[in-house]
Amino acid sequence: MACLAKVLAVFCALLVSASAASAHTGRRVSRLRRAGAAKGAQFDNDVSQTMKSQYPWYHSSDEIHAEATRLAGACNGAMSMRTVEQNGVSIDVASVRAKGTSPSNKFFLLFGEHARELISPESGLYFLKTLCGETSSSERAQEVLKDTEFEVVLNGNPRSRAKVEQGDYCLRVNPNGVDLNRNWDEKWEGGSGDMAMTNPGPAPFSEPETQIFKQVVTEFNPTVFLTIHSGTRGMYMPWAFDMEHLADRNQGAMMQILKDIDAEHCECPFGAAGREVGYSCPGTCLDYVYDQLKADYAFAFEIYTSEDKDADLKARWQAKMQQGGEALLQQGVSLAHNHFRDVFAGHSSSDFVQTAMSSEREAALQMPGFDCFPNFNPDSQDTFNSVVSNWADAYLDMAQMVVKDRQAKTSQPSQAAQPPAAGAGAGSAAGDLNATVASLMAWH
Ligand SMILES: [Zn+2]
């Protein structure tokens, strides 16, 4: 019976995907790609169907590299660029630190782990422009740079992105067919082979891309880590691998930061990631940097899905929050909890919240005719502009909130592990949650 139910559910998901794809037909000419053809796909070099021909406001990989290189020479001396190479893969790493400052906060941002999520590196490039004085938020960025330095991987999956730019819009994994966000050495599990798009690879850090990520993020030793994805909207903190155990370090502060950023920039699901029992979400960068590198603050953002899906997601999330969800979050449950199951059904399922529905979504994405591009990326220039601008502001907010939280802890060291006094800004609710979490853990 369970098997039959799953088959029916997958079938329904496929119907939804088909109708979603048809809704976009006629709005533009778009090539429909079969996700399953991603690995080993043939590319016909039909320039009328490339990313640049269909969505010319997006940057090609060469343009991203050129823009970042230009910024490094025009950022008041604050930015530098280097290229890290490993087994034939080259990845650009940008560093931004204002001259004459000694920032104590170190913020690492990882863009573009999944190739088809083109908007992720675009938001990173816009953020670098903001830090370098070229956008309307640059004045605030100068304030942020007094306390925070940044290291940025702009284009984390460059070989596969090149194929996406040629029109293979469903390609997520690297050229070896490995999901870079399942290849980190944190609760890594060998692949069951059931999902081609979440293949964890033959071993942890088996891929040149993840070897480079590990090297640069370890050397930088961040206080705050953020990985940026798309395909839904949501903001998450550890753990992604588990829903039974609570992240026990700094959880209250991270939750408060997500709550504040959510109100201003997302109005979308936020909280501890998680996985439903039986569904695998190990080996993520989010958990690795938090657990192995002991970053004080670790987050994953998913910054875009198509506007119709986003409206549906927002309605479902707000309903769940009003029906007791807010209290559950305050108790520290993860988003994989049964209460939130419907939120992550179908196409709004997240890469960091793994449920049975997530598997169905992946199955839907492999159907012939599914139009990946608008599911992961804005297909109008106006939306593109508002997305990159909104999230650059959110990254600045995050830097400021982390600095404020760290300063509060430094000035009140005896209360670092205790609920801060009322009126201590973001810290007070964080403290309450820490106390709740501590009591829950004691109970376990
Ligand atoms: Zn992703």
Give me the chain's average pLDDT, please. 79
Q: How far apart are CA 141 and CA 147, in angstroms?
A: 10
Residues 6 or more apart whose Cβ sits within 8 Å of residue 29: 54
Say which amino acid occupies 18.
Answer: A
**Taking CA 165 as the corner, what is the angle to CA 228 and CA 364, rounded to the nearest 5 degrees?**
65
Ligand 1 centre and the CA of 113: distance in Å?
A: 6
pLDDT tens digits along 90-133: 999 999 999 999 999 999 999 999 999 999 999 999 999 999 99
Dihedral in degrees, nearest 10, Cα atoms 107, 111, 114, 120: 130
Q: Return the pLDDT at 248.
A: 77
245 or 435, which is more confident:
245
Query: How far is the centre of ligand 1, averaged over its atoms, from the C-alpha of 206 (Å)?
Result: 19
Q: How far is CA 430 from CA 9, 419, 423, 437, in A?
A: 39, 7, 12, 10
> Higher pLDDT residue, 340 or 386?
386
What's the CA gap between 213 and 186, in Å, rounded?
14
Taking residue 422's Cβ as centre, other Cβ atoms within 10 Å add up to: 10
365: pLDDT confidence band, cut at 50, 70 and 90? Answer: low
Average pLDDT over residues 283-312: 89
Higher pLDDT, 163 or 358: 163
**Residue 56: per-residue pLDDT:** 96
Answer yes or no: are the C-beta atoms of 279 and 354 closer than 8 Å: yes
User: Does the pLDDT at position 256 exceed 90?
Assistant: yes
Residue 194's pLDDT band, with cuts at 50, 70 and 90, is low
Give me the residue spans of the domains in the chain. Answer: 2-443
CA of 436 to the centre of ligand 1 (A): 31
Confidence of residue 240 (pLDDT cuts 50, 70, 90): confident
CA of 116 to the centre of ligand 1 (A): 8
CA distances from residue 408 to 189, 247, 431 in whole angstroms, order as listed: 38, 21, 12
- Distance (Å) from CA 208 to ligand 1 centroid: 18
189-195 CB contacts, 8 Å cutoff, 24+ apart: 189/280, 189/282, 189/283, 192/280, 194/359, 195/359, 195/362
Q: What is the DSSP letter of 296?
A: S
- The pLDDT of residue 233: 92
- In this predicted structure, the answer to whether residue 192 has a pLDDT above a threshold of 70 is no
Quote the ligand 1 centre to 410 CA distance (angstroms). 35
Q: Summarize pLDDT for 5-44 with one digit per residue, the tens.
A: 333 343 333 333 333 333 333 333 333 333 333 333 333 3
Average pLDDT over residues 221-243: 88
What local confidence, expressed as pLDDT, does residue 211 receive?
97
pLDDT (mean) for 215-244: 89
For domain 2-443, give the CATH number.
3.40.630.10
Q: CA-CA distance, 43 to 163, in Å (whole number)?
A: 8
pLDDT at 79 exceeding the cut of 70 = yes
- Ligand 1 centre to CA of 412 (Å) is 38
